[in-house]
Amino acid sequence: MPLLQTPRPVRVWDAPTRLFHWALALLVAFSFISAKQAWMEWHFLSGKAVLTLVLFRILWGVLGSDSARFARFLASPAAALRHLRHLGRREPDREPGHNAAGGWMVLGLLLLLAVQVSTGLFANDDGINEGPYAGWAGKDLSDRITVWHIRNFNLIALAVLLHVLAIAAYRVLKGHNLAAAMITGRKALPPSVAAPRMVSSWRALLLLAVSVAAAGWIAAGF
C-alpha cells in the first residue's frame, strides 16, 4: 500500500455515544430479565433509564458530535441498498461513522425502543403494577397496549439479533472490526477520510441532565 494511503487511527465515536450504546445494551437485557422475574420495581426503573437514554440520543443526534448526528448518517434508502450490495466485497473501512445501511438500523432500533417505553407507560400486569398512564387509559385499552408492549419486545429482540449478525458479517466478509471501534472509539481510516468533529462531553452532560428531568417528568405522569 502506498504510504499516502496508509490508514491512521481516527476517533470516530465520542465517549457519550459509546457509553450510551453499552448502557443501552445492558438496560435492554436487564429490562427483559426483570420482567421475566417479575421484579417490577426494577423493571420500571430500567424502563425509565431506557427512556432517558432514548431522549438523550435524540438530542445528541441533533446537537452532538458529527458521527452521532442524524443529518450526517441518514442516507437515502437507495444509498443503503447500494451499500448492502457491496457487503461481500473485501475493502478497507472508509466510514467515519455509521454507513448508509447502518444509519437506518440506528433509526429502526431507536424507534422500536421509543415504542417500547411509550407502551410501557400505559401497560399493566393484571396485578398491582401498572404504568403511570394505565389508569388514565382504562383497563381495556391498557390491556391492549400491554399486548403491544410484549409483541414489540419480540421485534426488538429480532432487531438486536440482526444488528449483532450484521456486525459479525462486516467482520467476516469485509474484515472491519466495528465492535472494537464502539469500545475504543477509534478506527484505522485512510488519510483521505476526514476525522469527524467532536463536541465537548460537557454538552453531553447538560443534555443528559435535560433527558433525566424530562424522563422523570413523563414517568411521574406529568
Residue ranges that bind ligand HEM, judged by CB under 6 A: 17, 20-21, 24-25, 28-29, 57, 68, 98, 102, 106, 109-110, 160, 163-164, 167, 178-179, 182
Q: Which is nearer to ligand HEM, 139 or 151 (CB)?
A: 151
Minimum CB–partner distance for residue 72 and ligand HEM (Å) = 10
Q: Which is nearer to ligand HEM, 86 or 139 (CB)?
A: 86
3-class state of residue 164 by DSSP: helix
Amino acid at 151: R
Minimum CB–partner distance for residue 222 and ligand HEM (Å) = 27
Nearest Cα to 29, choosing from 40, 43, 41? 43
Minimum CB–partner distance for residue 189 and ligand HEM (Å) = 12
* 14, 61, 108, 157, 184 from 153: Cα distances, Å: 28, 24, 13, 6, 29
Q: How far apart are CA 14 and CA 199, in angstroms?
A: 8
Q: Which is nearer to ligand HEM, 159 or 214 (CB)?
A: 159
Minimum CB–partner distance for residue 53 and ligand HEM (Å) = 9
Give me the torsion for CA of 135, 137, 143, 148, rounded to 10°: -130
For residue 214, give the C-alpha cell.
424530562
Give me the torsion for CA of 111, 47, 204, 177, rounded to 10°: -60
Query: Rounded to 5 degrees, what are φ and ψ at 159?
Result: -65, -40
Minimum CB–partner distance for residue 108 and ligand HEM (Å) = 9
Residue nearest to ligand HEM (CB): 102
Amino acid at 156: I
Q: Which is nearer to ligand HEM, 113 or 134 (CB)?
A: 113
Q: Which is nearer to ligand HEM, 59 or 212 (CB)?
A: 59
